[in-house]
């Protein structure tokens, strides 16, 4: 089943992001690869994930190149049964945005879908996390790269392996090996659902 395209009102691209894109190569002739993880457990989860993919594709200086399968997963870091299950996916993008501007755009997409940040690991309409950006390694508290908990999360590793079976998590090794060590308990592929790669 393919989701119907939704056209949520997404906030305009901030001026700082536009300036960064203008200063870079908006033709994407020298882009960087980035891995983004998406998750939603409130509202119409599938429609929201697709809306986030489409909104990211609409960002100047960014192109979505691959979209994983949808996985249904148990909430992470909270008591079992305390929240609805998540739909999770991973996308690969090419972008000329620097990491800070990509993060700003990710937050803008979250805000457009009414993401509320009231508690750590709380339920949310959408979560857009930057997992990796090229081979950048950074301990900047605003954006730690790679994502500091990606290697602990099968709901990130499983869909990431879908779209890039040879993927490496900088400093930690092959995604396939990390996933094999974790196992996939509570992370179930939803073969009846599909996210559409923007045209």
CA-based nearest residue to 88, from 13, 170, 199, 163: 163
pLDDT digits (tens, 9 = 90+) for 1-39: 333 334 444 444 445 544 444 444 344 568 999 999 999
What is the pLDDT at residue 109?
Answer: 92
Q: Which helix (H) or strand (E) holds 50?
A: helix 45-57
Q: Is omega for the bond preceding 146 within 30 degrees of 0, making it cis?
A: yes
User: To which CATH superfamily is domain 15-189 assigned?
Assistant: 7,8-Dihydro-6-hydroxymethylpterin-pyrophosphokinase HPPK (3.30.70.560)
Point out the residues of the chain with pLDDT beneath 50.
1-14, 17-27
Instruction: Give the number of other CB atoms < 10 A from CB of residue 8.
Output: 14
Q: What is the dihedral of CA 116, 160, 72, 41, to 10 degrees?
A: 10
Positions annotated as catalytic residues are: 115, 124, 127, 129
């Amino acid at each position: 089943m393919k989701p119907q395209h939704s056209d949520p009102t997404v906030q305009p691209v901030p001026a700082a992001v536009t300036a960064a894109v203008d200063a870079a190569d908006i033709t994407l002739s020298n882009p960087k690869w980035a891995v983004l993880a998406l998750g939603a457990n409130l509202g119409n989860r599938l429609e929201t994930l697709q809306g986030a993919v489409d909104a990211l594709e609409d960002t100047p200086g960014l192109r979505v190149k691959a979209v994983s399968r949808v996985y249904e997963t148990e909430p992470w870091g909270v008591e079992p049964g305390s929240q609805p299950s998540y739909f999770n996916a991973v996308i690969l993008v090419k972008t000329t945005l620097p990491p800070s501007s990509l993060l700003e755009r990710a937050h803008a997409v979250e805000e457009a879908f009414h993401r509320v940040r009231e508690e750590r690991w709380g339920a949310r309409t959408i979560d857009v996390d930057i997992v990796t950006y090229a081979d950048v390694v950074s301990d900047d508290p605003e954006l730690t790269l790679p994502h500091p908990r990606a290697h602990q999360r099968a709901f990130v590793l499983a869909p990431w392996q879908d779209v890039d079976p040879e993927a490496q998590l900088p400093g930690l090794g092959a995604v396939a090996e990390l996933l094999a060590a974790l196992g996939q308990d509570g992370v179930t592929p939803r073969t009846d659902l599909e996210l559409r790669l923007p045209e």
